[in-house]
Amino acid sequence: METAYQQCLNPDCSATFSVSQVLTACDQCGSLLDIAYDWDSIAVPRSLAEFESRWAERLNPLNFSGVWRFRELLGFAPESQIVTIGEGQTLLQRNDQLAAHCGMTAGSLFLQYEGLNPSGSFKDNGMTAASTHARMTGASMTACASTGNTSASLAVYAAVSGLFRCIVFIGSGRIAFGKLSQALDYGARTIQIRGDFDDALARVRELCRQHPIYLCNSVNPFRLEGQKTIMLRVLEGLGWQVPDWIIVPGGNLGNCSAFGKAFSELHALSLIDRIPRLAVINAAGAETLSSFWNNDSLRWQSGRPDAAAIAQRFQEMDTRNERASTLASAIEINRPVNLIKALRALDTCDGVVRSVSDQQIVDCRARIAASGFGCEPASGASLAGLLQLRNEGVIGKSDRVVCILTGHELKDPDLTMAYHSADPHLHGKKLIPAGVHETPLANPPVVVDNDEQAILQALGLI
């Protein structure tokens, strides 16, 4: 057996493929692929703290990387092939202010700030792994469809490594300019199709199946291997203690799937003794998972979820031309490609799914910022989800909770400005977007004459 191999997720197929093959799905049955390992042949450190000691040798780029520091847990690549740009230097911040806002005890709420990655979102954790695999297989052209952050991340890896060209497909709907500007700036060939993200992804999958183009969306199982390490760093930040809850926004559902896989493997390797619960938070305008999970009771069922129900739902969505719509553009996705893997993660982690409104998302984003960490709208969904689960009593006041802040605030400054602008017609256009009715945390600039008395008055000093 190879140390690492690709394996079909469908238990009635279970086909395996070498990691040297480039596939976008199982070529026997079309299901998603997973990376599997022959753990007995891998020298995995016996305790998690051994990974931490690699900090002492951080001039070695593999030890500096917050992903490859854990390389035995994603050992599909020879070390000489690894493409790293120092991703994963992220923080776990204890936040008592937000804990109090959620009616929780001090020391129980933590924020994992993935906006600190080189391209400003968690996607770099995955893209370093996908780029490594692209290099291993000799790819000269890579592509992705993107709501923004995937393209920014892929474009960075292509530009820094100089190993391959990069093509980015975007839809014609919402895209935050902070993200699009990155792809353009890093030299990605950017193709904007007339359609939305779901259309762009379907197109790029088709193109990559038929042409020698390497696909970097999260259907790429190597990407998810890199994203597992976000959970390793959370554990590391907690002194290797397992929290009670992980809360993460869900779009294409790659991240939550990777988290579930990480915990399942760590548990099987006896590196942790229990598995935290997982809460995946959808935006109300893109709540396919929530609707499947909560309304239709769709479950993993040992790898045999109700495929007919899924197909029927997607068919209905197509017939009604139902499109995702939320201000949180990173999770504006109605046909999540990793749906089945997400069901597995929810099964592994005794998970829950909730959906939150755009109003809640923008208010929570502003509240996180006001407590010191800027994140983009999609990340606000994790706090909004926590508030909802606290209200329902699902999460207790002393439970240890980690909210994942998936992307940086500066990705989407337009929305932030819109929120804070007292004048809804600033610059001649209405800034407060549909779906937001009030801005309780708005902190607009105060316009005064250039005059000491006027300024002191505005400051409340006279």
What residue ranges bind ligand PLP (CB under 6 A)? 121, 123, 149, 218, 249-255, 330-331, 376, 378-379, 406-407
Task: State the angle between helix axes of 123-136 and 149-161 in degrees (0 to 180), rounded to the nearest 10.
Answer: 50
Choose which of 1, 3, 29, 424 interacts with Zn ion (CB under 5 A): 29
Scanning 14-22, 61-69, 175-183, 301-309 for contacts with Zn ion by CB under 5 A, the matching segment is: 14-22
Q: Six-digit token pair at 93?
A: 């911040």
Rounded alpha-carbon distances, angstroms, from residue 183 to 150, 178, 374? 9, 9, 21
Least Cβ distance, residue 254 to ligand PLP (angstroms): 3
CB of 208 to ligand PLP, least distance (A): 18
Q: Where are the alpha helices (DSSP H) in 248-357?
A: 254-268, 288-290, 307-319, 339-348
Residue type at 440 in one-letter notation: P
Backbone angles phi, psi at 447, to 5 degrees: -95, 120
Tokens of 221: 């199982």
Please choose which of Zn ion, ligand PLP, none residue 290 contacts, taking the beta carbon within 5 to 8 angstroms, the exact cut-off set by kind: none
CB of 266 to ligand PLP, least distance (A): 20
**Binding partner of 331, given Zn ion, ligand PLP, none, CB within 5-8 angstroms per partner class:** ligand PLP
The interface partner of residue 376, options being Zn ion, ligand PLP, none and the CB cut-off 5 to 8 Å by kind, is ligand PLP
Between 32 and 327, name the residue whose CB sits nearer to Zn ion. Answer: 32
* 7 makes contact with Zn ion (CB under 5 A): no
CB of 289 to ligand PLP, least distance (A): 9
Provide, rounded to whole angstroms, the least separation between the CB of residue 338 and ligand PLP: 7
Output 81 or 93, the one with its CB closest to ligand PLP.
Answer: 93
252 binds, among ligand PLP, Zn ion, none (CB under 5 to 8 A by kind): ligand PLP
Cα–Cα distance, 142 to 122 (Å, whole number) = 19
Pairing state between β 277-283 and 352-356? parallel
Q: Are 76 and 346 in contact (CB under 8 A)?
A: no
Residue 31 binds which one of ligand PLP, Zn ion, none, with CB within 5 to 8 A depending on kind? Zn ion
Please state, in angstroms and rounded to a whole number, the distance separating the CA atoms of residues 92 and 237.
Answer: 6
**CA nearest to 105, candidates 96, 116, 92:** 96
C-beta of residue 168 within 8 angstroms of C-beta of residue 159: no
Does 23 participate in binding Zn ion (rule CB under 5 A)? no
Is 31 a binder of Zn ion (CB under 5 A)? yes
Q: Binding residue for Zn ion (CB under 5 A) from 25, 26, 102, 369? A: 26
Q: Which does residue 117 touch among Zn ion, ligand PLP, none (CB within 5 to 8 A, set by kind)?
A: none
Residues 209 and 1: their CA atoms lie apart, in Å, by 27
Work out which of 4, 6, 8, 95 binds Zn ion, going by CB under 5 A.
8
The enclosing H or E element of 403 equals strand 401-405
Report which DSSP code applies to 294: I
Ordered alpha helix ranges (H), 193-327: 197-210, 221-227, 229-237, 254-268, 288-290, 307-319
Interaction with Zn ion in 211-250: which residues (CB under 5 A)?
none
Provide the minimum distance between the beta carbon of 1 and ligand PLP in the complex, in angstroms, as a whole number. 30
* Longest CA–CA separation in the chain, Å: 79
Nearest to Zn ion of 26, 167 (CB atom): 26
Q: Closer to ligand PLP by CB, 271 or 330: give it.
A: 330
Q: Please tell me whether residue 340 binds Zn ion under the rule CB under 5 A.
A: no
- Min dist CB 178 to ligand PLP, Å, is 11
User: Minimal CB distance to ligand PLP: which residue?
Assistant: 407
- The answer to whether the CB of 412 falls within 8 A of the CB of 431 is no
Shortest Cβ distance from residue 169 to ligand PLP (Å)?
Answer: 15
Compute the C-alpha angle 54/261/113, nearest 5°.
Answer: 60
Choose one: 13-21, 288-296, 350-358, 448-456; the region binding Zn ion (CB under 5 A): 13-21
Instruction: Provide the 3-class DSSP secondary structure of residue 104.
Output: coil
In the complex, least distance from residue 458 CB atom to ligand PLP, rounded to whole angstroms: 36
310 binds Zn ion (CB under 5 A): no
185 Cβ contact list (under 8 Å, min separation 6)? 155
Distance between CA 349 and CA 34 in Å, rounded?
18
Closest to Zn ion by CB, 339 vs 353, is 339
From Zn ion, ligand PLP, none, which one binds at residue 330 (CB under 5 to 8 Å depending on kind)? ligand PLP
With binding defined as CB under 5 A, does residue 15 bind Zn ion?
A: yes
Site size for Zn ion (CB under 5 A): 8
- Which residues touch 255 (CB under 8 Å, ≥6 apart)? 122, 218, 227, 230, 248, 404, 406
Contact, 193 vs 172, CB < 8 A? yes
CB of 216 to Zn ion, least distance (A): 22
Binding footprint of Zn ion on the chain (CB under 5 A): 8, 10, 13, 15, 26, 28-29, 31
